[in-house]
Amino acid sequence: MKQLTDNLAGLFAEFTKDATQQVENGNKAAGTRARKASLAIEKALKEFRKASVDHSKK
């Protein structure tokens, strides 16, 4: 569970950095990286939800 939350924190940091670069500097490549990170965040959140439900059943 700790590993999942650490992974999510890293993904959010990547997303925030790239999204900020796109918005503030108009960096198109950063926008692509931010969209890719958002998909990875979605997948990681689904994994976290599954693990959280399993953990709460114990």
pLDDT at 58: 76
Torsion, Cα of 13, 20, 40, 42 (10° steps): 100
- Helix (H), strand (E) at residue 7: helix 2-25
> Whole-prediction pTM value?
0.84
The residues of the chain scoring below 50 in pLDDT are none
Domain encompassing residue 11: 2-56
Number of domains in the chain: 1
Sign, CA torsion 50/51/56/58: positive
pLDDT at 10: 96
pLDDT at 57: 85
- Helix (H), strand (E) at residue 9: helix 2-25
